[in-house]
Chains A and B, each alone.
Chain A
Amino acid sequence: MSSYRFIVRKAAVLGAGVMGAQIAAHLVNANIETLLFELPAESGDPSTPATKAIGKLKKLEPAPLSVASKAACIQPANYDQHLGLLTDCDLVIEAIAERMDWKTDLYAKVAPYLGQHTIFASNTSGLSINQLAQAFPEELRHRFCGIHFFNPPRYMHLVEIIPCKESDTSMLDDLEAFLVTYLGKGVIRAKDTPNFIANRVGVFSMLAVIHHAEAFGLGFDLVDKLTGSLIGRPKSATFRTADVVGLDILAHVINTMQNTLADDPWHAYYTPPAWLQALIDLGALGQKTGKGIYQKIDKEIHVLDLATNSYRLSADALDEDVASLLKLKNPVEKFSALRSSEHPQAQFLWAIHRDLFHYCAVHLTAIADNARDLDLAIRWGFGWNQGPFEIWQTAGWNQITAWINEDIAAGKSMSNAPLPAWVEEIGQNAVPGVHSAQGSYAPLTHAMQPRSTLPVYRRQLFPDRLSNEERVYGETIFETDAVRMWHTGDEIAIVSFKSKMHTIDIEVLNGLQQAIEEAEHHWRALLIWQTEPPFSAGANLQKATEKPKSEEPPSAFDQFMKKFKKTAQSTILQAARSLDLADALMAGKLAEVETLITRFQQLSQHLRYCMIPTVAAVDGLALGGGCEFVMHCDRAVATLESYIGLVEAGVGLLPAGGGCKELALRAARNAIDDDPFPQLKHYFQTVAMAQLAKSAEQAKQLGYLRPADPIIMHRFELLHAAKIQALALAESGYRPPLMPRGIPVAGSTGIATIKGTLVNMLEGHFISEHDYLIGSKIAHVMCGGDLTPGSLVDEEWFLRLERKAFIELLATEKTQARITHTLKTGKPLRN
């Protein structure tokens, strides 16, 4: 195997259920030819069940496919006709129902067809990998292992790889490298113990919450408030997550633990509570049946109240004192305060953490190689901001340890199993706790285990950081209040923004200007890369005079839910927040705004025409002005999960940092027979509807990214990939493009034709008079103004139109009202 280079030319997924189909979707997101197998239909085309599952992918939210058209690249297949096709597949992922007998049958059936080097992996969440391996011919077992994706697989970062005893080490390394670079996943090697790492700990955490909620007499809605973003977990917290997952699924997982973990000190708790079983018996399984712990009645959320056994309006009776305790910045003080508070809500919070810490310490040796793997598994699989050991360590390792021991002695903890000896031992280290500069605690070797040295991780210049890890981002070239320019010891300069959400204000513009000048003189290329997402939430035309209100940082999971569930609304909200124009307007500082916009446009142009290559490395949101920077760099390198858009129209404005100009220019470049209009009308729609691309792939379709802009799958490989691109440009004898001098415009006929559509929307009351005005202005700018069609202009012509239209819209009362309203309420205003 060592001489064989592992390449996945083609993959197959067996089982077209929710997980199987979504895994297939993510494989084609990564441009991997994929077959999706399902049982043959009894009549008609035998592949119909697989075809149907592929069809459903297009409707699922959040979208499993980066663009719906990719569904056509998944090839439907069935076990009667197509097993022969498996021979060409380098990776086969089995994702059928969790039944040992069914899986065993299937393995016997497919084994003869597997290719010489095919990796065969089972996406199981509950069954033993070694037991499954027994169903596989002995001579093939070295190519078998478990591969556990989390739902939804496109968005959840975690994949657990679970080797069986016979799994070949280099095969596992190949698979890990593939999952990381090509599917963009965070891989954790887990041991073959029930529910592996993330579900074992995550489900126990839910059971601890259920147990203590009952003990302290707290309602489901209050518990969700307490166990959500306030403590760095997803907003859906505990019980709403259960509804989303499905109460039957949850019960199934709990029962698995009950059946397989007889010797576990917490075994007594591995049983679904009576109310859970009662809901399941009623068919109230959560979101999928429209009723579970929560229920939507007349657009209002109602919650099950165990006291009355009926649903009531959901409300949270969060205690103000407890809320203020949770706002304490110092985790040591916070945990101390929670433990000493008499308030049942505080006691509850201490108790769920204590038992979770206790549980993780006792089980670490059995389930994971080291403490980092456990923490990252919970972060990547459950969307927590910090893993259990990180929380423990930042709250003071030894103090927490002492309190856990006290509570065990006092009989307060869920189990009286003693903490393992290593907990006290590592408390004696210079840095007490499981995470240190040398690595994270590995109980088998009693040593601090460094991160994996697999070659694939060399591409991650700055991997996901644990909160106890120090991080230094290279050497500073210069630093202002707004930006930092730095390098990592090579010839590529990197500039990162320091503003909140990486918004762009005059200071950022000045910093970038300085960076470009510095780079032109001393560096080979300039990268714009942020140390964490988003890339940029857009322009911030006036720096807020007040300090922003302190907010809990949203968890990764919340961020994606927000992005996908309420795209339209959050887009508009983001646009308004990023513009932060209210104050400037009230003061009537339109002239000041115009100066800023001019500056913005100059910078966009400078990114395009400076003497070194500029590369935007995009991950997460790139809105408004952020999108305009992306469009003006020589190249963008974007992760698949980049959400790019010119969203200014959402608050009654238009892109004026070169965005309209750039799209008009691109339309002119794509002009057929000198007519830019066919392309331009699509771009107009994109801007007028403030369309946000829901993937980098879609951003290409909408025209924000160019065909040559690479899309990469793994967030933490972004900097590496962007640097290589920058270097390639520099090494290819880089010169900026010549300024286009004869850009054909759609002119008066283009404007009139777009207005034809707008007039109908206005008459049909789909849009307001002000919407009509905004649309007309955008049309005016993008068509090059009231010119004879085909007239030739330069870029400055468009830029002037952008500035003028922006100020004209800003001067209207209705646009001002929209901005103010959105800033105040977070909702769009239609006026």
Chain B
Amino acid sequence: MAKQTQDAYIVAALRTPVGKAPRGMFKNVRPDDMLVHVLQAVMKQCEGLDPAAIDDVIAGCAMPEAEQGINVARVALLLAGLPNSIPGMTINRFCASGLQAVALAADRIRLGEADVIIAGGTESMSMIPMMGNKVAMNPAMYMHDENVAIAYGMGITAEKVAQQWKVNRDQQDEFAMTSHMRALQAIETGEFKQEIAPYPIEEKRPDLTSHETMTVKSVKDTDEGPRADTSLAALAKLKPVFAADGSVTAGNSSQMSDGAGAVVMMSAAALQRFNLTPIGRFIGYSVTGVPPEIMGIGPIKAIPKVLKQVGMKQDDLNWIELNEAFAAQSLAVINELDLDRAKVNPLGGAIALGHPLGATGAIRVATLLHGLRRRQQKYGMVTMCVGSGMGAAGVLEAL
């Protein structure tokens, strides 16, 4: 175990259910409202915590503009009713944003410069498309061949990983199928109940006959992505979307999603002051760069790097949340590092559960800690590949 100045503890970790984008249950729900919701939900779990004692709110977001723009962390904390004395910061490391927010919060606490921070993330892919509302690329990307890959869509990089790491279509489809089966099983047995803060939706729709405004209310408490009707045969029928002769399909890629998550973190002193019981401890985090055209292999570099940093071995981990950006890159990572498939995403991954970019890291921290605790296991990891060629991995301990 690495020596630390002081420890950073997690007191609460909650998330919204994840909706499908762009036509799912949260298609009309604003990402800032989703963040407000999870901030309020985690605060409710921290009875006795003086809101004024919160040092910062850090939120990850991959496309921080429009409905999730103008520093969504600060906007959301104010709308959530937290005191305006609390600052807020939105950060962006694409798919690792939520995890990066947790790591940043931990660092401030471990350094002794903060005692209480809420970290999290939010993303509406229904409202803000991948790459943002206005794509405007730099002409310099085409001046040197090695930079052209900055313009690559994620799907093409997955095709390249599939080729180089020799992951075939059948293996990808089988992996996708397992993701759905595990997720469905987890929903069935209520595995996500502890981590999901049910989301009440109130929509106002016009009745064009009576000219009245109708209010339609519902509460969402279940992830929308897992499909009970999928099968290997159905997956095999899907056409490759990113390459004419490729193997990556909509079925073996992560889903576009909407969702948010929040994690309350504090020092030992704060735990004592507010009389709160931690559910986990943050151990370490590492991030690394890889060639952009094979961005999916990021975890192959990030996982050993963080394990070395915290002085642990792969076998010490009971649970690995490996973000399933694509079955192709997930299998490349699993095979290359010889990860235990039973330990990787036991409740399914992004192919079934969805991947609301900047929120995913925080969401999966919640999944990991609650899952480890239910199984009375100790160590786990959240890891993911990151667009334009990066890998991130964080290690946590359940208490």
Q: Which residues of A are at the interface with B, using a C-beta cutoff of 8 A?
A: 677-678, 748-749, 751-753, 755-756, 759-760, 763-766, 786
CA distance A752 to B143 in the complex (A): 11
CA distance A786 to B156 in the complex (A): 27
Closest-CB distance, A306 to chain B (whole angstroms) = 39
Mask for B136-156, Cβ within 8 A of A = 1, else 0? 111101100000100111011
Asked if B130 is at the interface of the complex by the 8 Å CB criterion, the answer is no
Interface segment out of the listed B239-247, B280-288, B347-355 = B239-247
Closest-CB distance, A422 to chain B (whole angstroms) = 61
CA distance A755 to B142 in the complex (A): 9
Mask for B8-41, Cβ within 8 A of A = 1, else 0? 0000000000000000000000000000000000
With A749-B137, A752-B141, A755-B137: A760-B244 Cβ-Cβ less than 8 Å: no
CA distance A760 to B154 in the complex (A): 10
A765 touches B244 (CB 8 A): yes
CA distance A239 to B159 in the complex (A): 48
B243 touches A766 (CB 8 A): yes
- Interfacial chain A residues near B138, Cβ < 8 Å: 749, 752
CA distance A752 to B138 in the complex (A): 6
Q: Assuming A751-B139, A760-B155, what are 17 further A-B pairs, CB within 8 angstroms? A: A677-B136, A748-B139, A749-B137, A749-B138, A752-B138, A753-B137, A755-B142, A759-B148, A759-B151, A760-B151, A760-B152, A763-B159, A764-B155, A764-B246, A765-B243, A765-B246, A766-B244
Asked if B219 is at the interface of the complex by the 8 Å CB criterion, the answer is no
- Of the candidates A752, A756, A765, the one having the most CB atoms from chain B within 10 angstroms of its own CB is A756
- Interfacial chain A residues near B159, Cβ < 8 Å: 763-764
For window 224-267 of B, CB contacts with A under 8 Å fall at 242-246
A752 touches B245 (CB 8 A): no
- Interfacial chain B residues near A678, Cβ < 8 Å: 134
With A759-B152, A760-B151, A760-B153: A753-B244 Cβ-Cβ less than 8 Å: no
With A749-B139, A760-B156, A764-B156: A755-B245 Cβ-Cβ less than 8 Å: no
CA distance A751 to B141 in the complex (A): 11
Closest-CB distance, B160 to chain A (whole angstroms) = 8
CA distance A752 to B142 in the complex (A): 8
- Interfacial chain B residues near A753, Cβ < 8 Å: 135-137
Pairs across A and B, CB under 8 Å, 5 listed: A751-B139, A752-B136, A756-B151, A763-B243, A765-B246
CA distance A246 to B137 in the complex (A): 54
A756 touches B243 (CB 8 A): no
Closest-CB distance, A301 to chain B (whole angstroms) = 27
Q: Which residues of B are at the interface with A, using a C-beta cutoff of 8 A?
A: 134-139, 141-142, 148, 151-153, 155-156, 159, 242-246
- Interfacial chain A residues near B139, Cβ < 8 Å: 748-749, 751-752, 786
CA distance A751 to B151 in the complex (A): 13
- Interfacial chain B residues near A748, Cβ < 8 Å: 139
CA distance A765 to B243 in the complex (A): 6
Closest-CB distance, B209 to chain A (whole angstroms) = 12
CA distance A678 to B136 in the complex (A): 10
User: Please, which residue of chain B has its CB at the minimum distance from the CB of A751?
Assistant: B139
Closest-CB distance, B61 to chain A (whole angstroms) = 22
User: Please, which residue of chain B has its CB at the minimum distance from the CB of A755?
Assistant: B142
B151 touches A764 (CB 8 A): no
CA distance A822 to B138 in the complex (A): 37
Closest-CB distance, A683 to chain B (whole angstroms) = 16
CA distance A678 to B135 in the complex (A): 9
User: Please, which residue of chain B has its CB at the minimum distance from the CB of A756?
Assistant: B151
CA distance A759 to B246 in the complex (A): 16
B243 touches A752 (CB 8 A): no
B244 touches A749 (CB 8 A): no
- Interfacial chain A residues near B136, Cβ < 8 Å: 677, 749, 752-753
- Of the candidates B136, B155, B242, the one having the most CB atoms from chain A within 10 angstroms of its own CB is B136
CA distance A760 to B155 in the complex (A): 9
Closest-CB distance, A124 to chain B (whole angstroms) = 34
CA distance A584 to B244 in the complex (A): 35
- Interfacial chain A residues near B134, Cβ < 8 Å: 677-678
CA distance A749 to B135 in the complex (A): 9
User: Please, which residue of chain B has its CB at the minimum distance from the CB of A750?
Assistant: B136
Closest-CB distance, A368 to chain B (whole angstroms) = 48
A764 touches B242 (CB 8 A): yes
A764 touches B244 (CB 8 A): yes
Partner among A756, A763, A764, A765 whose Cβ is within 8 Å of the Cβ of B137: A756
- Interfacial chain A residues near B142, Cβ < 8 Å: 752, 755
User: Please, which residue of chain B has its CB at the minimum distance from the CB of A765?
Assistant: B244
- Interfacial chain A residues near B141, Cβ < 8 Å: 752, 756
- Interfacial chain B residues near A763, Cβ < 8 Å: 152, 156, 159, 243
CA distance A678 to B129 in the complex (A): 14
Closest-CB distance, B245 to chain A (whole angstroms) = 6
CA distance A220 to B80 in the complex (A): 77
Closest-CB distance, B143 to chain A (whole angstroms) = 10
User: Please, which residue of chain A has its CB at the minimum distance from the CB of B131?
Assistant: A756
Closest-CB distance, A704 to chain B (whole angstroms) = 25
- Interfacial chain B residues near A749, Cβ < 8 Å: 136-139
- Interfacial chain B residues near A677, Cβ < 8 Å: 134, 136
CA distance A763 to B142 in the complex (A): 14
Leading 5 A-B pairs by shortest Cβ distance? A764-B243, A752-B137, A756-B151, A752-B139, A748-B139
CA distance A751 to B142 in the complex (A): 11
Closest-CB distance, A611 to chain B (whole angstroms) = 42
Closest-CB distance, B34 to chain A (whole angstroms) = 27
B151 touches A755 (CB 8 A): yes
User: Please, which residue of chain A has its CB at the minimum distance from the CB of B133?
Assistant: A678
Closest-CB distance, B83 to chain A (whole angstroms) = 37
- Interfacial chain B residues near A756, Cβ < 8 Å: 135, 137, 141, 151
Closest-CB distance, B162 to chain A (whole angstroms) = 12
CA distance A756 to B155 in the complex (A): 13
- Interfacial chain B residues near A765, Cβ < 8 Å: 243-246
- Of the candidates A751, A753, A759, A763, the one having the most CB atoms from chain B within 10 angstroms of its own CB is A763
Partner among A752, A759, A760, A786 whose Cβ is within 8 Å of the Cβ of B242: A760
User: Please, which residue of chain A has its CB at the minimum distance from the CB of B241?
Assistant: A764
CA distance A764 to B138 in the complex (A): 21
CA distance A790 to B167 in the complex (A): 46
- Interfacial chain B residues near A759, Cβ < 8 Å: 148, 151-152
CA distance A763 to B156 in the complex (A): 7
CA distance A786 to B153 in the complex (A): 24
